[in-house]
Chains A and B, each alone.
Chain A
Amino acid sequence: MHKTQTQPRETGVAAGAAVHLTGLRKHYGDVRAVDGVDLTIAPGEVVALLGPNGAGKSTTVDMILGLTRPDSGTVSVFGSTPAAAVAEGAIGAMLQGGALLDDMTVAEMVGMVASLHHKPMPVGEALRRAGIADLGVRRSTKLSGGQKQRVRFAVALVSDPDLLVLDEPTAAMDVGTRREFWKSMYEFTNSGRTVLFATHYLEEAEEFADRVVLMRSGRVVADGSVAEVRALAGGRTVRAVLPGVTEPVIAGLPAVTGYELRGDRAVLSSADSDATLRALLAAVPGARDIEISAVGLEGAFLSLTSEENTEETGR
């Protein structure tokens, strides 16, 4: 196990939690897609689920939604099973690559899903909140990738769920559309709903999540606020132009945990930037353009998820 692994922040009663996972495991043949996940999400939290491809994010999401049955462990959503929570309309979800129907208009599709729920919000409101009020009469075949994602968002919203689960919601969106999307999301989370979203975009997690859960190889490797997770990675990044330097020289510097060398330009990750820098200046007197920066979430992400790459799981 990784030394930076943290425990879930609270061990409160499952009944009080929006999502409560204990010892969750799912194997596909030899592949351990999810390998012992414990996670508690309190009502009202906005949680980002981060991890490289194959970390088990989608499988975890599927088990929370009741689409996949865990091999072992328990899932509870607002104190009941996923199936019961779904039947109550408590969960809204945007699935990865979730489909839209070609033979219906946007409003009809959202209306169809609304008709299946007990207490849906008006279709017009769902469309407005998703920012597609003007697209109601369009067929989904006539929509751009970003617009389709917003339709899926409207489908997830229309049941007025207490828990919103989004699997890669902004994939296929350009930067502008992504901003717009998160603006709509913000409106929703401000009303005290719980949101769990899986994403590849670290800046989204940094900007919109109260809490970040980092997964690797089916396990949670870090869990905390953005600042806490960033701190877990520790260390600093040292950038410098080092004329004539060779890789062994860099690798031999104290406290260096990783490096990248392109021509004369080096980027070093260091657990103790002071020690690294002193040794660096002694070893490479010609060093210039030196910058030292704190590791961002991206750095934390890389350092926490890069180890044991060989064990990377599929799916």
Chain B
Amino acid sequence: MNPAYLVTETRRSFRSPRFVLFAVAFPVLMFLLQASVFVKAGAPDHDATVKVLMVNMMAFGTFAAAMTAGTKLAIERSSGWQRQLRLTPLSGPGYLGGKAVSSMLVGLPALIIVPVVAIFVEHVHIDPSGWARIIAGIWLGAIPLVLLGLLIGQFGTPESMQPVSMLTMMGMGFLGGLWIPIEGMPAWMHTVAQVTPTYWLTQLVRPVVTDEMTVSFASAAGALAVFTVVLGALMIKRYRKDSARV
């Protein structure tokens, strides 16, 4: 992978107000809002609930970052920049790989800032190995979301990406339990949640912060692996088809 290319790609994201808003500011503010408004200070489950909210918003930040990367891909595709890049030694896998890695990198701010805010504002305590599992888990667990973003970006136009990525973010955020914790969901919704990768993403690290409604690491990792393979295959197939046509 070409480091100079990757740095430029990643730096571009931070210039997008939309990215900074959704992938950085929004998760932080939502975390603060939910933690102070919806959780009673003296409640016995206060700590666990705040931690669950924190994990949810970290996951949402990486999700939003991935969707922004998808929008960028749609813009490059429809504007002809992708064609221009095809006239450089950068290969198709190199292009998609670069996009995937840079959208992983731009997910990091939320993974760092939300916990920092949680520690200093909400006095969250988690041991170092727990933190490691949460941050690394959400970061790597976001791979299928990154692939989803890139897949959608290859279908969408710059105009349609706005509503489509919004709907995906809200829909999967809601159903997957990022917006309302799964504890508050009726049973049917909890069942539906399990078709979303966002649900399994939070489940990957949930055992660190609560004992309730958790699944084993193996089943969460397995589900995410399945999403990764399926979304990855679809994305590559779509890219091949797309680049053969134009």
Contacts and interface: CB of A to CB of B under 8 A. Distances in A.
Interface stretch (B77-85, B118-126, B148-156, B173-181): B77-85
Interface in A65-120: 65-69, 86-89, 91-93, 95, 97-101, 103-104, 108, 111-113, 115-118
B2 interface: yes
B80 A95 contact: yes
Interface string B187-204: 000000000000000000
B76 A99 contact: yes
A139 to B, nearest CB: 9
Given A98-B83, A116-B2, A104 B88 contact: no
B43 interface: no
A159 B80 CA distance: 19
Contact of B8 (A65, A99, A112): A112
Interface residues of B, number: 22
A41 interface: no
Contact of B89 (A86, A93, A98): A86
A250 to B, nearest CB: 47
Given A67-B246, A115-B2, A99 B84 contact: yes
Contacts of A116: 2, 5, 85, 88-90
A68 B5 CA distance: 25
Given A95-B83, A97-B80, A100-B81, A117 B8 contact: no
21 contacts: A67-B83, A68-B246, A86-B88, A87-B89, A88-B89, A89-B88, A89-B89, A92-B87, A95-B83, A98-B81, A98-B84, A99-B80, A99-B84, A115-B2, A115-B5, A115-B8, A116-B2, A116-B85, A116-B89, A117-B89, A159-B88
Interface of B: 2, 4-5, 8, 12, 15-16, 76, 79-81, 83-91, 244, 246
